[in-house]
Amino acid sequence: MFPTLDQQRAANRRRELGSAIMQLRLSRKMTQSRAAELLDWSRTTLIAIEQGKQAVTADQLFALADLLHVDVTAFFPLNLNAWLSNAKPLDLSSGIRGKGAARRAAR
């Protein structure tokens, strides 16, 4: 059985979003391992999201935006180039915002 047009469109959107996430992460000179650690996710989850194999929840998207210090709209094509053109490596010595940061601080 072949995927429907809607399924193909959804898969294309996941791939585009995953690519944007990866580009922004790389623009911040951050490895998948470090990003996954800071988000309190498995590296395989981040890989699946970046490859478009796993859909991203709204909570995950907002956590990624916090981690990368961008507005959530940065992940969408019309805004991605603007964010990438202003990209700077992040100083993560002060940590990140979000509930995962509180859990890491408690360790």
pLDDT digits (tens, 9 = 90+) for 35-44: 999 999 999 9
State the pLDDT at residue 7: 87
Other beta carbons within 10 Å of 7: 10
pLDDT averaged over every residue in the chain: 83
pLDDT of 78 reads 62
Give me the DSSP letters along 22-59: HHHHHHTT--HHHHHHHHT--HHHHHHHHTTSSPPPHH
What's the mean pLDDT in 21-40?
95
Collect all residues with Cβ–Cβ distance below 8 Å to 38 and sequence separation of at least 6.
Answer: 67, 92, 96, 100, 101, 104
Amino acid at 77: P
Q: How far is CA 55 from the centre of its chain?
A: 11
